[in-house]
């Protein structure tokens, strides 16, 4: 449907802990099944590596008993199984950093952290071998260890993840939360995973700001949680973004959507919204470890401040983006060269968009003010854009007026507005012949030769401009 609006000559001028008991292999299989449904129209996922840093607590408290053995023995056994299971996964690199194992406690040595196995693919044997010779003995420098992890990652682009396994809190006056946040803000790592082994309830809050915290109260839940974390670290989940129209239906599409990481503000993805063959919003692969800010690049843009994903589950995200079209038209033959129009939201001075005449542009449903950049300016207020309709704003075809003078001088063109005249433009001083494109109406030219030394030599001449017509006047 089209809504037409013709603009007459006389216009008024106006100033937004779920445990998944799946094995790692099942998680990878699900990813492959989900990704097979991703449309070819989508941008392919980057083939950059996923790097997993295992940051293991080997402080003296890890020799404490925990069901079937010491905490360290249980962590060593399960971590060995984990690295074995992902050793041959494509584009995955692993590393091992340990703290609290090179010095005894007491005395306390807060520099007790060391990269034991650097990043490489297929290095599960090296990690297991190192785990077998480590003996818990020292203190717990968590903040310093996280900071050192940031230096362990290669400088090349990749999806960098830290998985912290610990049974205690910071003991060296560091601030793990601040260090973790700084690494995320710099884009060095994604939000870390923290697996607590029987940590006291009053200590848990100290880890929630470090990363995605999972509390393992017993050996069985420790195994389940570790598998969940690995699945999240390796696998994307899927999401469907619904662009909602004015009737609450997900019918809007063909809009670019930018996905930003809320932790560091960096751009992660761009996806042009697509409807699949069934007329349903297409599925996009996203990292469940990231809290996204989504910007739909409509005019004006629509932002969802926070979009968290459910790992391993399809997530539906909605943004209200009802849209209609604005068509700018000139009556008759167009005498202008690329005439433009400034579009502003109703009541705002900020320019939203500059649109060419004879073009159609989509806008969010609402009211807008237009400023047509012709001579004289035309101001069109309260233009309504309705859902799925085209609003046409039409202006008259201009006329041509040629100003001739016998000598160089100073002059201006004015337009009659009832009993007053309003300035339109100045004449170009060095020229004795000038052609202007003006909207139809009644005008006055005022001119004084450069050599004339008295104001009484000012020349005035009225003239009329008609649509599609051309004429000339001489100012003597």
Residue 425 in contact with residue 436, Cβ under 8 Å?
Answer: yes
DSSP, collapsed to helix, strand or coil, labels residue 182 as helix
In terms of Cα–Cα distance, which of 396, 438, 458, 339 is closest to 9? 396
237-320 shares the fold of 46-234: no
Q: Going by DSSP bridges, is the β-strand pair 283-286/237-244 parallel, antiparallel, or unpaired?
A: antiparallel
**Can you give the residue ranges of every domain in the chain?**
2-14+323-395, 46-234, 237-320, 399-475
Residue 186 in contact with residue 264, Cβ under 8 Å?
Answer: yes
Triad 12, 10, 436: Cα angle to 5°: 110
pLDDT per residue, tens digit, the chain (476 aa), is 666 666 665 443 433 333 333 344 344 344 434 344 433 334 444 578 999 999 999 999 999 999 889 999 999 999 999 999 999 999 999 999 999 999 998 888 999 999 999 999 999 999 999 999 999 999 999 999 999 999 999 999 999 999 999 998 899 999 999 999 999 999 899 889 999 998 888 788 889 899 989 999 999 999 999 998 998 888 888 899 999 999 999 999 999 999 999 988 999 999 999 998 889 999 999 998 899 999 999 999 999 999 988 877 889 999 999 999 999 999 877 778 889 999 999 999 999 999 999 999 999 999 999 999 999 999 999 999 999 999 999 999 999 999 999 888 999 999 999 889 999 999 987 778 999 999 999 999 999 998 888 999 999 999 999 999 999 999 88
CA separation for the pair 294, 291 (Å, rounded)? 10
* DSSP H/E element including 226: helix 219-234
Tell me which CATH code domain 399-475 carries.
2.60.40.1120
- The architecture (CATH level 2) of 2-14+323-395 comes to Sandwich (2.60)
Nearest 5°: phi and psi at 18? -95, 125
pLDDT at 430: 78
CATH of 237-320, one of 2.115.10.20, 2.60.40.1120, 3.55.30.10, 2.40.50.140: 2.60.40.1120
Query: Among positive and negative, which fits the CA dihedral 185, 186, 187, 190?
Result: negative
* DSSP H/E element including 271: strand 267-272
DSSP, collapsed to helix, strand or coil, labels residue 8 as coil
DSSP, collapsed to helix, strand or coil, labels residue 55 as strand
pLDDT at 406: 86
Give the Å distances, CA to CA, from 280 to 40, 97, 273, 356. 15, 46, 11, 33
In terms of Cα–Cα distance, which of 324, 288, 55, 321 is closest to 176? 55
CATH of 46-234, one of 3.40.50.410, 3.40.720.10, 3.30.70.3040, 2.40.50.140: 3.40.50.410
CA separation for the pair 69, 78 (Å, rounded)? 12
pLDDT at 336: 86
Residue 312 in contact with residue 27, Cβ under 8 Å?
Answer: yes
Query: Cβ atoms within 10 A of the Cβ of 446, count?
Result: 17
Whole-model pTM: value is 0.76
Q: What is the DSSP letter of 172?
A: S
DSSP, collapsed to helix, strand or coil, labels residue 118 as strand
């Amino acid at each position: 449907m089209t809504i037409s609006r013709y603009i007459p000559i006389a216009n008024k001028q106006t100033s937004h802990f779920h445990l998944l008991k799946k094995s790692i292999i099942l998680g990878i299989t699900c990813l492959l099944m989900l990704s097979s449904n991703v449309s070819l129209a989508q941008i392919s996922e980057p083939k950059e590596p996923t790097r997993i840093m295992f940051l293991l607590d080997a402080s003296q408290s890890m020799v404490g008993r925990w069901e079937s053995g010491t905490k360290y023995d249980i962590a060593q056994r399960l971590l060995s199984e984990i690295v074995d299971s992902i050793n041959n996964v494509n584009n995955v690199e692993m590393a091992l950093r340990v703290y609290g194992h090179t010095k005894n406690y007491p005395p306390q040595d807060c520099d007790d952290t060391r990269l034991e196995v650097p990043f490489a693919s297929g290095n599960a044997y090296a990690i297991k071998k190192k785990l077998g010779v480590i003996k818990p003995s020292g203190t717990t420098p968590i903040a310093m260890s996280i900071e050192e992890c940031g230096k362990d990652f290669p400088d090349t682009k990749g999806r960098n993840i830290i998985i912290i396994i610990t049974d205690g809190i910071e003991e060296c006056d560091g601030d793990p939360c601040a260090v973790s946040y700084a690494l995320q803000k710099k884009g060095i790592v994604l939000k870390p995973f923290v697996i607590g082994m029987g940590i006291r309830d009053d200590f848990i809050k100290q880890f929630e700001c470090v990363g995605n915290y999972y509390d393992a109260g017993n050996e069985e839940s420790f195994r389940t949680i570790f598998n969940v974390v690995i699945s999240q670290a390796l696998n994307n989940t899927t999401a469907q973004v619904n662009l909602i129209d004015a009737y609450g239906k997900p019918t809007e599409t063909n809009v670019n959507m930018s996905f930003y990481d809320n932790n560091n503000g960096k751009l992660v993805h761009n996806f042009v919204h697509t409807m699949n063959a069934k007329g349903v919003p297409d599925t996009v692969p996203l990292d469940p470890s990231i809290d996204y800010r989504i910007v739909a690049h409509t005019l004006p843009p629509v932002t969802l401040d926070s979009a968290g994903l459910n790992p391993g589950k399809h997530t539906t995200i909605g943004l209200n983006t009802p849209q209609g079209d604005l068509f700018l038209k000139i009556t008759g033959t167009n005498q202008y060269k690329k005439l433009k129009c400034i579009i502003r939201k109703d009541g705002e001075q900020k320019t939203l968009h500059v649109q060419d005449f004879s073009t159609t542009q989509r806008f969010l449903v609402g009211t807008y003010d237009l400023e047509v950049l012709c001579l004289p300016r035309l101001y069109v207020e309260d233009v309504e854009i309705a859902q799925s309709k085209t609003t046409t704003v039409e202006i008259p075809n201009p006329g041509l007026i040629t100003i001739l003078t016998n000598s160089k001088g100073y002059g201006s063109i004015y337009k009659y507005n009832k009993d007053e005249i309003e300035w339109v433009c100045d004449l170009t001083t060095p020229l004795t012949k000038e052609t202007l494109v003006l909207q139809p109406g009644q005008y006055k030219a005022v001119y004084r030769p450069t050599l004339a030394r008295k104001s009484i030599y000012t020349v005035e001449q009225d003239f009329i401009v008609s649509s599609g017509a051309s004429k000339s006047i001489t100012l003597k």
